[in-house]
Amino acid sequence: MCGLVGFLGTGVHDSRESAKSIVGRMTDTISNRGPDDSGAWTCEHGLVALGHRRLAIVDLSPAGHQPMAGPSGRYVMVFNGEIYNHLKLRSALESTGQAPAWRGHSDTETLLAGFDVWGIQATVERAIGMFAIAVWDRETRTLTLARDRLGEKPLYYGWQGSGAQAVFLFGSELKALRVHPSFENRIDRGALSLQLRNNYIPAPYSIYQGISKLPPGSLLTVSLSQREERVSQYWCAASVAREGVANPFKGSAEDAVDQLEVLLKDAISQQMMADVPLGAFLSGGIDSSTIVALMQAQSSRPVKTFSIGFNEVGYNEAEHAKAVAAHLGTEHTELYVTAQQARDVIPLLPQIYDEPFSDSSQIPTYLVSQLAKKHVTVSLSGDAGDELFCGYTRYQSAERIWSKVGMAPRPFRQLVAAGITSVSPQRWNMIGQGLQGIIPASLRVPAFGDKLHKGADVLTSRDFDAFYLGLCAHWPDPSAIVVDGYHPPTTLVENAPRLPGFSRVQRMMALDMLSYLPGDILTKVDRAAMGVSLETRVPFLDHRVVELAWRLPQSVKVRDGKSKWVLRQVLYRHVPQALIERPKMGFGVPIGAWLRGPLRDWAESLLDEQRLKQEGFFHPAPIRKKWREHLSGQRNWQHHLWDVLMFQAWHEENRSLATVC
């Protein structure tokens, strides 16, 4: 796990020495991604520069230093990530007599040898792992960027400047690009609108105009003679989903459990490869418990596991994690975090996340990463189990609701919605409280009025996709609060993939895999962990596991009302069912209460009406209205307010750079 930066073009520098100085400064900004080593390389005239920060995981010797040139000298590369099957790739080269005389045992060296023999794309297609790669081809004078299949590792790029002074910048984080003298610092209003709707900015957009995220599973080529970058997919998650649904697994349910366990064990075994201490996050839920159970089954020593706890009711999973750890015999470390310790993370978020990002579980994710880093350099994670095995409760609830209301004519639904919203949320809450003694506890809904009003907002949706998008959205119409805001086309809107033959639940899972997983979940984990120089690995995202998951029929993912049935059966072979069966709990913090209490002054400063007007990004009135309603307790607008606050905090951190456009 490392960080990479670089640029193509002369721009404002006039020599190889000045190019090397600039790329060195860019590299220094991401030292958190690689505290163990740094390096820079420029071509003879300074037309291309590569920079690297290294977090040494495999081959700790100088033989793993980057930038690294390949055996033939044709390719020079910087690489962020891990190739878990790189020893098998070496064996494949050796079996045909095409392997070089190896200098060390790093996966970087393996990739470069593969480029010489198979070419860049064919080598990337053979690789199992997570990665962001930048390769300069000295022969064709072409730069190639590559990103892993599901988007675990970030990679930003874009032209800045104009004419002969234009420079193509790229790097693992935006802060590295901002250092370059040609960086233009123009905020993209469309990207800001997307952040308010989704709580993250999806690829290919970034918060800056002219700077993009390379989509997962993609290759990009660019040169000074061919300045228009060419982006192509070497692996397509939507195609994998389509192929899986069209050609489902033919074995029995027990066969599915057996095959999933074998494949997960192999993926986890490969991801336990490291020359440094390694462990795992453990929440005590199905996903992380499965990963840890299969790690421990293949380890001769207790696996190091980590969890954090909170004293607030409804936010603490630590006791469940401790019970699972005790059963498996792991070397478990837990830390109970005070509310103040959690709030102390908030000032760090603009630097950690580098562009506006407002999933508030970023706070506990950073804290558990910080805890793990005290003991290990690599931690495995259970992320992506929900998207692949139908774990989110919203899948079943959205399907259930739409199956009942979607058949009604839209004008009738509009009439019902108008009736619901004619009664205030507070009044609905009072009605809900009055029914507490009549309806079963399992059917009682907290914040009944808020949820009913949100349901009314999406009740008039034209189709199921719009209905689901509305359920997941925070600010449904960001252009109403972003000055000159608009909604660019995304995977969820306008550019949705064709998914023929998919059920409604399968559509939700596929759209989440393509958007929410890389945009929110993987971004959250990568930035939080790299903020403390910790490498995270996600075994569920081994592409072979993803391909199998999409071949498995829904009948083994949801059975007898239980989500993730097939994954549960794998887990129950290692952990008693009684330790796992409990309601799903999110990994969050009580942001809503904090905004009314200890964070009130901080939020009030960022949401000040005059400040909002002067900065020119937001229409103050709808934001101030929600702020007043939240403070009074009339409504819970924590998610909407956190979206705005995270942009405001980020902008305050970067105001000397950002240009109002």
Q: Which two tokens stand for residue 308?
A: 């954090």
Ordered structural domains, the chain, with CATH = 2-235 (3.60.20.10), 243-344+355-390+507-579 (3.40.50.620), 393-475 (no CATH), 591-654 (no CATH)
State the pLDDT at residue 23.
Answer: 95
d(C-alpha 23, C-alpha 167), whole Å:
13
Average pLDDT, the chain: 92
pLDDT per residue as tens digits for the range 401-423: 888 888 888 888 878 777 887 77
State the pLDDT at residue 15.
Answer: 81
State the pLDDT at residue 319.
Answer: 87
Pick the range with the lowest mean pLDDT from 26-30, 54-58, 276-280: 54-58
> Average pLDDT for residues 452-461, to the nearest whole number?
75
Is the pTM above the cut of 0.95? no
Looking at the predicted structure, is the pLDDT value of residue 314 above 70? no
Q: Which two tokens stand for residue 509?
A: 């899972």
Looking at the predicted structure, is the pLDDT value of residue 172 above 50? yes
Q: Which amino acid is at 216?
A: P
CB 5 within 8 A of CB 159: no
d(C-alpha 371, C-alpha 342), whole Å:
13
d(C-alpha 465, C-alpha 507), whole Å:
8
State the pLDDT at residue 659.
Answer: 45
Element (H, E) at 49: strand 48-54
Q: How many CB atoms lie within 10 A of CB 418?
A: 12
Element (H, E) at 245: helix 237-246
State the pLDDT at residue 658.
Answer: 46
Please identify which residue in the block is written with the tokens 């699972």. Answer: 324
State the pLDDT at residue 16.
Answer: 86
State the pLDDT at residue 156.
Answer: 98
| Cβ within 8 Å of residue 203, ≥6 positions away | 151, 212, 213, 214, 215, 216, 518, 519
pLDDT per residue as tens digits for the range 91-102: 999 999 999 999
* Confidence grade of residue 470 (pLDDT, cut at 50, 70, 90): confident
Q: Are strands 142-147 and 156-160 parallel, antiparallel or unpaired?
A: unpaired
Catalytic residue among 2, 43, 390, 661: 2
pLDDT per residue as tens digits for the range 515-549: 999 999 999 999 999 999 999 999 999 999 999 99
Q: How many helices (H) and strands (E) does the chain have?
A: 29, 17
CA distances from 238 to 127, 149, 176, 204, 245 (A): 19, 11, 31, 16, 11
State the pLDDT at residue 661.
Answer: 37
Q: Which amino acid is at 318?
A: A
Percentage of the chain modeled with pLDDT above 90: 75
Percentage of the chain modeled with pLDDT above 70: 94
Q: Which of 153, 323, 178, 149 is nearest to 236 (CA)?
A: 149
d(C-alpha 372, C-alpha 606), whole Å:
32
CA distances from 529 to 43, 58, 332, 576 (A): 33, 18, 19, 30
In this structure, what DSSP letter does residue 207 have? S
Distance of CA 606 to the CA centre of its chain: 26
Pick the range with the lowest mean pLDDT from 59-68, 469-478, 480-489, 576-585: 576-585
The number of residues in the chain equals 661
Hey, which residues does 130 pair with through a beta bridge?
A: 82
Hey, which residues does 535 pair with through a beta bridge?
A: 378
Q: Which of 650, 375, 638, 385 is nearest to 512 (CA)?
A: 385
> Average pLDDT for residues 261-285, to the nearest whole number?
96
Cis ω for the linkage preceding 204 (within 30 of 0): yes
Q: Is 2 a catalytic residue?
A: yes
Q: Return the higher-pLDDT residue of 64 and 429.
A: 64
State the pLDDT at residue 444.
Answer: 56
CB 449 within 8 A of CB 424: yes
State the pLDDT at residue 419.
Answer: 80
pLDDT per residue as tens digits for the range 132-169: 999 999 999 999 999 999 999 999 999 999 887 899 99
Distance of CA 177 to the CA centre of its chain: 20
Give the count of alpha carbons within 13 A of 292, CB side only.
32
CB 397 within 8 A of CB 471: no
Looking at the predicted structure, is the pLDDT value of residue 610 above 60? yes
* Confidence grade of residue 230 (pLDDT, cut at 50, 70, 90): very high
